[in-house]
């Protein structure tokens, strides 16, 4: 990640933002208030909020990332994006917002296993009936990597102290109360998982 004076910049966000927004325009069509878990640099937030003007995009992350998120927001001058709240699973309570959609990108494989499980359980237990959770990133299927590149990436993640790529079966088990309604193949061996609360 290249760090600028104010805004942080992630090349991967630029690469994946278009295919992601094409899916979010479908799956968040009826949402009014979306929470982004792990807004990171803030790039995704401003790109998606601009293209989903019918909803409010709520940003969140650990405090270290708030400066960059704010910088992207200031530049974008959008009325439907909300300043970041501090949110870290296991540390902060679920935000007191009327959320009917949740989005997260490239967080699940960074988290330790316990934190990834807590995220799935927390989202499932806090979203109301009919709400949508869109989860982007690399996933294993039936205990296997979907590409050799993902195998190498997973090894790098674990060597760097991250939790690593999770298997779909794990996520389904942890997400009791949510149904995986779509498993969309995305570029660069990623998926967009679309979960709905019964």
* Alpha-helix runs per DSSP H in the chain: 11-27, 43-51, 66-76, 113-126, 148-159, 168-174
pLDDT at 3: 44
What integer best gives the mean pLDDT of the chain? 95
pLDDT confidence of 66, banded at 50, 70, 90? very high
User: What are the residue ranges spanned by the domains of the chain?
Assistant: 2-197
pTM comes to 0.95
pLDDT at 2: 44
User: 3-31 b/e with 16+ CB inside 10 Å = b?
Assistant: eeeebbebeebeebbebbbebbeebbeeb
Contact status, residue 196 vs residue 178, Cβ threshold 8 Å: yes
Distance CA 66, CA 192 (A): 25
Mean pLDDT of 156-174: 97
Q: Which residues pair with 184 in a beta bridge?
A: 192
Instruction: Provide the CB-side half-sphere exposure for 173 (13 A, CA).
Output: 7
User: Helix, strand, coil: what percent of the chain each, to 5?
Assistant: 35, 25, 35
Q: Which residues pair with 61 in a beta bridge?
A: 86
CATH number belonging to the domain at 2-197, selected among 3.40.50.150, 3.10.580.10, 3.40.50.80, 3.40.50.720? 3.40.50.150
pLDDT at 6: 84
Phi, psi of 26, rounded to the nearest 5 degrees: -85, -50
Distance CA 101, CA 55 (A): 10
Q: Which residue has the higher pLDDT, 6 or 156?
A: 156
Phi, psi of 136, rounded to the nearest 5 degrees: -110, 140
The tokens of 110 are what? 């960074």
Helix (H) or strand (E) holding 196: strand 190-197
In the predicted structure, residue 4 carries a pLDDT above the cut 80: no
Tens digit of each residue's pLDDT (9 = 90 or more) over 75-101: 999 999 999 999 999 899 999 999 999
The fraction of the chain above a pLDDT of 90, given in percent, is: 96
The tokens of 139 are what? 């996933």
pLDDT at 198: 83
Tens digit of each residue's pLDDT (9 = 90 or more) over 8-55: 999 999 999 999 999 999 999 999 999 999 999 999 999 999 999 999
């Amino acid at each position: 990640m290249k760090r600028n004076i104010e805004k942080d910049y992630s090349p991967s966000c630029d690469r994946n933002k278009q295919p992601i927004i094409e899916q979010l325009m479908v799956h968040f069509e009826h949402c009014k208030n979306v929470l982004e878990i792990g807004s990171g640099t803030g790039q995704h937030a401003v790109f998606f909020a601009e293209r989903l003007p019918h909803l409010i995009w709520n940003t969140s992350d650990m405090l270290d990332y708030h400066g960059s998120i704010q910088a992207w927001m200031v530049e974008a001058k959008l009325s439907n994006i909300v300043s970041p709240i501090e949110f870290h699973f296991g540390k902060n309570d679920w935000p007191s917002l009327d959320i009917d959609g949740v989005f997260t990108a490239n967080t699940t494989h960074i988290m330790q296993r316990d934190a990834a499980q807590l995220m799935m359980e927390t989202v499932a237990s806090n979203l109301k009936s009919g709400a949508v959770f869109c989860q982007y990133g690399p996933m294993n299927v039936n205990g296997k990597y979907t590409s050799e590149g993902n195998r190498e990436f997973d090894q790098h993640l674990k060597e760097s102290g991250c939790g690593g790529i999770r298997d779909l079966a794990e996520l389904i088990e942890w997400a009791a109360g949510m149904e995986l309604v779509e498993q969309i193949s995305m570029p660069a061996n990623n998926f967009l998982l679309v979960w709905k609360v019964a």
